[in-house]
Amino acid sequence: MIDFELNTQQRMLKEALHDMGKSVIRPQSLGWDREKTIDLGFLRNFYMMSQSLRGENNPMEDFNEGPKNRDPGKPVQTNRTAAMGAEELAWADASIMLSLPGPGLGGPPIRASGTPEQKERFFSIFRDMSDELRWGAYGLTEPGAGSDVAAIRTSCKRDGDAYILNGRKCYITMGGRASWVVIFATVDPALGRAGHRAFVVEKGTPGFFVGKIEEKMGLRANETAELVLEDCRVPAANLLGGEEKYQTKEGFMTAMKTFDNTRPLVAAMACGIGRAAYEYARDFVKDNYVLGRPIPRYSAIAERLARVGRNLEAARILTWKAVWMADHHLPNAKEASMSKALAGQAAIWACIEAIEICGAHGTLSEDHALLEKWFRDIKVYDIFEGTGQIQRIVISKRLLTDLRAF
Amino acid sequence: MISFEPTEDQKLITGTVSDFAKSTLAPRARDFEKAQAVDTAARRAVHELGLSLAAVPEALGGQGLGLITATLINEELAYGDPAAPFGLPGFGAFLIAAQELGSDEQAQALIAPFADPAAHDRFGAVAWSERKPNRARPGFITIAKKVSGGWELTGAKAFVGNADLAESVIVFAQVDEQAGWNGVGAFVVSKANPGLRVAGRHKTLGLECGHFGEIVLEGAKVADTDRLEGRGDFVAACTRFFAKYSLIVAARQVGLARLAFDVSREYCDIRKAFGKPIGHFQDIAFTLADRHMDAESARELVRRGAWTWDAGKEQGKCLLATAQAVAHAHQVAMRCADDAVQLHGGAGFMRDVIVEKLMRDAKQMALCGASAEQMDQLAAAVELGLPLDPALVWPTPETQAVLT
């Protein structure tokens, strides 16, 4: 049945996160942006609180590690619930979702391709973080290879019971503090995708260094790091999925599979930030415009607001569709990319228009600092996890016959 | 629970309508256009499918399947020929106006004739717009004057769908000249009324089989019982009428957008230039990707709009979701049709290919029911908590005039 009602768990999660977002997160958001970090005390409290909420049936664990005893014929709610949570958290603060302790973007490739032993070894550290918060990370992008993933140059060479990795990874979310990072490398760049290997490289491995921590336009509270691998010796047991996994093109597919589940979440976050800006502008108009007077220019402002609102709705509906498909185990690569492409655009536009509607007020980083911050935060949502252009490549390959590359 | 999957019944209905639209409407779209009418055989076939009363509540003589089902049906019909639904009895604005504006008794009486076996030839119409705004005061030029036992209607209405075919017409007129747009009333006028005259048919840009025309009222007398009072709140009822009718039109725009997209995608697959299919050039592929996102998002927003009504959400939520869906669908359909012509190049401009018709139909349809601009004003008014002033949220002739 066509239905757009959240289930009880989703509604409760949304309400709880919204209340906390409003009264706890938003008041700290600007400070975190200035300090360039989310307060660890807050993250710890947030973690402990979410643990107590979760009880026996831990939705985040399901999301990170994949639901246990999953019947592939049976739909789940995990992705839909995660999308609700992601939107609401991003509404409160754009960086928070990317900074939460846990495997982060490193989770999906391990979930998709790791051996049972690897899953246990790398996920178990997140099951109880009451002593210390821990993060995972995902290292694909290099100075010379962004959208063109096949062009990565970080090398890996087998040496006895280990691989020797050399290269540089950049723009790695939480890369500086991660307990481990899924690093993509190549045995031979001439082999293209077939030469790719994914490794889990653990913090403290000799030859594995954190380089520069980036200064960014927005999302400043979220750590973005450069990682350096210099003759870094990684045990063969950390080759994701084991050697036999790479007899086919799986290696590259590992990198890409990550995105079918995470793109709609990024889209959901973008919707949350866009919605924050939209609501801000709407409330600004209510409070600051003299709406009782029939001023002709108002209809132009009303139209702007309405357009922003409906473009966000269009993005949200595609996001929901993508997660609904994921929950039903339907292939959703196209829909995932559609949600990300549309949401990135709609939310950027929402932030731009919101400032326009608020006039000069909107640009002040004192009184209306959140609006100015969201404008800086949102831009990267059309860039990371595949730029808008890359999403359109993914989409068009699924629309046109025999289109393999441009 | 969030779900995008229609029920089994809805799938069955959609499948049947889709087959019918592809086999019966699509091949004859150009014939309907030339004849400026959907022919009797096709109308009879649609009537036999028994779909025109799908969304009408059972209590009023319909099938009570809800607005979601109605949007599914209209989307599929339009995928065959977007213009055809405008020439089908029971698919116009009339039934929705009867439901929203009439009492149960009035609605039953107005809807009943559309259920009988001969109803493939039975049309109703809604006479809303006027050629010119009233410069002397807000409100319609057409007036309804209280006379003993009833009302006397005088004026002229324009852009009326099926004006020349309708057996009865719901006419909007000014009942209180001092009250502006709050002083409007609606009346059922029979074709047999000596005071009603069909003045002529409009030549339109698209939707040729829609029979859009003018109606002149020359002291047409109607009884008190012919006045539709909107179940106590006429302004709210009329706002609901335009929202629901516009949502049905938006579902047709979705069908049109999907059709324009599918035709274009197919063409970009087979048409070669510079040694490869044109779809293999990035600019063209990206255009297709954008239009696909457009059509898919409009489709789901229209269903979400319909869901708010079916689920009995509070009025503000229903109006907001509907306004967003309608405005988005109108703009999406226009973009899809425009790009369909563009991607076909010179061939797209020729009448041999359907896309030029889709482009004309899309623009015409964007002015049936409330326009995107009017819907944006409605959405903003709901969001800003402003009173729903009819001068602002109705498609009055003082702004963009619309077809009904």
Interface test with B, best of A2, A279, A324, A394 (most B CBs within 10 A): A2
Gap from B28 CA to chain A (nearest CA, Å): 28
Residue whose pair of structure tokens reads 């009408």 in the numeric block: B56
What pLDDT does B348 receive? 94
- Please answer yes or no on whether B376 and A310 come within 8 Å at the CB atom: yes
Contact B238, B186 (CB under 8 A): yes
Residue B183 in any domain: the answer is yes
* pLDDT at A401 > cutoff 90: yes
Both structure tokens of B382:
């709901």
Distance CA A265, CA A377 (A): 16
Tens digit of pLDDT for each residue in A152-191? 999 999 999 999 999 999 999 999 999 999 999 999 999 8
The pLDDT > 70 percentage for chain A reads: 91
Give the Å distances, CA to CA, from B81 to A47, B85, B256, B259, B369. Answer: 56, 8, 8, 9, 19
- Return the ∠ at Cα A31 (arms to A30 and A33), rounded to 5°: 65
Contact B255, B76 (CB under 8 A): yes
- Please answer yes or no on whether A307 and B376 come within 8 Å at the CB atom: yes
Task: Count CB neighbours of B352 within 10 A.
Answer: 9
Residue B403 in any domain: the answer is no
- Please answer yes or no on whether A317 and B301 come within 8 Å at the CB atom: yes
Q: With the C-alpha atoms ordered B109, B114, B116, B119, is the resulting torsion angle positive or negative?
A: positive
Gap from A342 CA to chain B (nearest CA, Å): 7
Gap from A278 CA to chain B (nearest CA, Å): 11
Closest Cα in chain B to A343: B293
* pLDDT at A61 > cutoff 60: no
Q: What pLDDT band is residue A59 in, cutting at 50, 70 and 90?
A: very low
Chain B residues with CB inside 8 Å of A296's CB? none
Contact B248, B78 (CB under 8 A): no
Residue with the bigger pLDDT between A61 and A367: it is: A367
- Please answer yes or no on whether B288 and A291 come within 8 Å at the CB atom: no
If asked whether residues B224 and B241 sit together in one domain, one would say no
Residue B2 in any domain: the answer is no
Q: What pLDDT band is residue A62 in, cutting at 50, 70 and 90?
A: low
If asked whether residues B197 and B331 sit together in one domain, one would say no
Q: What pLDDT band is residue A55 in, cutting at 50, 70 and 90?
A: very low
Enter the ipTM. 0.91
Candidates A296, A344, A356; CA nearest to A316 is A344
What pLDDT does A123 receive? 95
Residue A385 annotated to the active site: yes
A288 φ, ψ to 5°? -110, -20
Partner residue opposite B280 with nearest CB, options A285, A318, A406: A406
If asked whether residues B158 and B255 sit together in one domain, one would say no
- Please answer yes or no on whether A4 and B2 come within 8 Å at the CB atom: yes
Question: Which residue ranges does chain A devote to CATH 2.40.110.10?
Answer: 136-247
If asked whether residues B60 and B143 sit together in one domain, one would say no
If asked whether residues B212 and B275 sit together in one domain, one would say no
Rg of the Cα atoms in chain A:
22
Domain boundary pick from B62, B95, B120: B120
Partner residue opposite B297 with nearest CB, options A2, A303, A342: A342
**Segments of chain B scoring below 70 in pLDDT:** none
What pLDDT does A51 receive? 79
Chain A residues with CB inside 8 Å of B282's CB? 393, 406
- Please answer yes or no on whether B301 and A303 come within 8 Å at the CB atom: no
Distance CA A267, CA A87 (A): 8
Gap from B22 CA to chain A (nearest CA, Å): 21
Catalytic residue among A250, A335, A353, A385: A385
Tens digit of pLDDT for each residue in A254-276? 656 667 778 999 999 999 999 99
B5 φ, ψ to 5°? -100, 125
Residue with the bigger pLDDT between A252 and B350: it is: B350
Q: What is the mean pLDDT of chain A?
A: 90
If asked whether residues B251 and B323 sit together in one domain, one would say yes
Partner residue opposite A399 with nearest CB, options B5, B288, B323: B288
If asked whether residues B83 and B132 sit together in one domain, one would say no
What pLDDT does A258 receive? 65
Residue B217 in any domain: the answer is yes
What pLDDT does A265 receive? 93
Q: What is the mean pLDDT of chain B?
A: 95
If asked whether residues B243 and B382 sit together in one domain, one would say yes
Closest Cα in chain B to A328: B3
Interface test with B, best of A87, A317, A345, A353 (most B CBs within 10 A): A317
Interface test with A, best of B263, B264, B270, B293 (most A CBs within 10 A): B293
If asked whether residues B104 and B28 sit together in one domain, one would say yes
Distance CA B114, CA B61 (A): 9
- Please answer yes or no on whether A282 and B286 come within 8 Å at the CB atom: no
Q: What is the CATH number of the domain that holds B69?
A: 1.10.540.10
Interface test with B, best of A310, A327, A398 (most B CBs within 10 A): A310
Chain A residues with CB inside 8 Å of B303's CB? 2
If asked whether residues B114 and B152 sit together in one domain, one would say no
- Topology of domain A136-247 in CATH is Butyryl-CoA Dehydrogenase, subunit A; domain 2 (2.40.110)
Q: For residues B234, B236, B238 and B239, what is the CA-based torsion angle, rounded to 10 degrees?
A: 160
Q: What is the CATH number of the domain that holds B161?
A: 2.40.110.10
A182 forms bridges with which residues in the sheet?
A: A138, A200
- Topology of domain A8-126 in CATH is Butyryl-Coa Dehydrogenase, subunit A; domain 1 (1.10.540)
**Exposed, middle or buried, B367 (CB in 10 Å: 0-12/13-18/19+)?**
buried
If asked whether residues B112 and B213 sit together in one domain, one would say no
Gap from B126 CA to chain A (nearest CA, Å): 28
- Please answer yes or no on whether B328 and A310 come within 8 Å at the CB atom: yes
Q: With the C-alpha atoms ordered B391, B396, B402, B404, is the resulting torsion angle positive or negative?
A: positive
Domain range spanning residue B150? Answer: 125-232
Tally helices (H) and strands (E) across chain B: 13, 10
Chain B residues with CB inside 8 Å of A283's CB? none
What pLDDT does B55 receive? 85
Both structure tokens of A397:
């390959």
Chain A residues with CB inside 8 Å of B6's CB? 1-2
Residue B400 in any domain: the answer is no
* DSSP for residue A279: H
Residue B398 in any domain: the answer is no
Chain A residues with CB inside 8 Å of B288's CB? 396, 399-400
Contact B170, B127 (CB under 8 A): yes
Gap from B266 CA to chain A (nearest CA, Å): 8
Candidates B118, B115, B228, B120; CA nearest to B169 is B228
Residue whose pair of structure tokens reads 């402002």 in the numeric block: A301
Domain boundary pick from B66, B86, B120: B120
For A155, the 3-state DSSP assignment is: strand
Question: Which residue ranges does chain A devote to CATH 1.20.140.10?
Answer: 252-397
Task: Count CB neighbours of B118 within 10 A.
Answer: 9
Q: What pLDDT band is residue A68 in, cutting at 50, 70 and 90?
A: low
Closest Cα in chain B to A338: B293
A vs B: CB pairs below 8 A: 154
Task: Count CB neighbours of A293 within 10 A.
Answer: 7
- Please answer yes or no on whether A400 and B6 come within 8 Å at the CB atom: no
Contact A284, A358 (CB under 8 A): yes
Chain A residues with CB inside 8 Å of B383's CB? 282, 305-306, 309
Gap from B7 CA to chain A (nearest CA, Å): 5
Give the Å distances, CA to CA, from B106 to B102, B144, B166, B225. Answer: 5, 19, 17, 8
- Please answer yes or no on whether A302 and B381 come within 8 Å at the CB atom: yes
User: In A151-296, which ranges are continuous DSSP H helix?
Assistant: 250-288
Both structure tokens of A20:
């906390």
CATH C-level class of A252-397:
mainly alpha
Q: What pLDDT band is residue A404 in, cutting at 50, 70 and 90?
A: confident
Chain A residues with CB inside 8 Å of B300's CB? 317-318, 320-321
pTM strictly above 0.95: no
Chain B residues with CB inside 8 Å of A403's CB? 277, 279-280, 285
If asked whether residues B136 and B111 sit together in one domain, one would say no
- Please answer yes or no on whether A306 and B379 come within 8 Å at the CB atom: yes
Contact A212, A225 (CB under 8 A): yes
Closest Cα in chain A to B279: A400
Residue B83 in any domain: the answer is yes
Candidates A342, A346, A309, A268; CA nearest to A91 is A268
Total domains in chain B come to: 3
Domain boundary pick from B209, B232, B255: B232
- Please answer yes or no on whether B277 and A401 come within 8 Å at the CB atom: yes
* pLDDT at A83 > cutoff 70: yes
Contact A2, B303 (CB under 8 A): yes
A231 φ, ψ to 5°? 45, 45
Residues in chain A: 406
Tens digit of pLDDT for each residue in A276-322? 999 999 999 998 888 877 777 888 999 999 999 999 999 999 999 99
